[in-house]
Amino acid sequence: MAADTVTLEIDDAGVATVTVDRPESLNALNVPTLEALEDALAEAREAEARALVLTGAGEKAFVAGADISYMRDLSTPEAQAYAELGHRIASGLAEFPAPTIAAINGYAFGGGCELAIACDLRVASERATLGQTEVELGIVPGWGGTQRLPRLVGDETARRLIFFGDRVDATDAHEMGLVGEVVAHDQLEDRVAELAGELAAGPRHALAAAKESINAGYEGSREAGLAFERRTWAGLFGTRDQREGMDAFLDKRDPEFE
């Protein structure tokens, strides 16, 4: 692993569990953690994992988002590189050659929400809260959210979530189709293990083919959309609203946008 902030465990059934392990930072994704996450996905693929679970360490967060203190001072080229890194990981989940499950045990905001929706299935703890909150920082979702979210919850629901940066609890997320299942917090690990174990015991090639076929229905326009999103996201760095949004977050105050 590239850092000690991501762990990978593969059990005897072939279930790979990838855990973002920065609970003191609500599992926010800085560059070393993103690189370690990319390495973990590559290692799980190399090991031919039959199912993959993505989750976060601790009791509060799945992944609370990207590292805002790092993002605040990025130039447009640096932001483009950061977007590319996040996209590689989201695409790695979406294109992983076995089913993937997001075990959402707490906050899943911004980039964390984007990684969750890049997974095939989402199971949320009753304590979970999700949201594409980037607009509060003067930017837009930059790791696939503008493309994957509308396909998951429908066009207007996605627009409302992205335009207003709303945070939704697990029950509302389930009702709008953002997550497929909500369970008691102390049952999350067992329920996800049950699903992952069933998938791992299933026909490997058929499941891989089913996933690839489902994805193929989106790929024609999605790639162009994702490329546009990366450019748009990176181009917002250096604007007054981007700086004000991130300064306000770090200063724990309300932003004053143009």
> Is residue 244 annotated as a catalytic residue, yes or no?
no
Beta carbons of 58 and 20 less than 8 angstroms apart? no
Active site residue 114: yes
Catalytic residue among 35, 134, 136, 229: 134
Q: Which two tokens stand for residue 179?
A: 């997550």
Instruction: Select which of 84, 95, 114, 189 is catalytic.
Output: 114
User: What is the secondary structure of the chain as a DSSP string?
Assistant: --STTEEEEE-TTSEEEEEE--GGGTT-B-HHHHHHHHHHHHHHHHTT-SEEEEEESSSSEEE--B-HHHHTT--HHHHHHHHHHHHHHHHHHHT-SS-EEEEE-SEEETHHHHHHHHSSEEEEETT-EEE--GGGGT----SSHHHHHHHHH-HHHHHHHHHH---EEHHHHHHTTSSSEEE-GGGHHHHHHHHHHHHHTS-HHHHHHHHHHHHHHHHHHHHHHHHHHHHHHHHTTTSHHHHHHHHHHHHTS-----
Whether residue 97 contacts residue 208, with contact meaning beta carbons closer than 8 Å, is answered with: yes
Q: Report CA torsion sign: 59, 82, 36, 218.
A: positive
Which residues are known to be catalytic? 114, 134
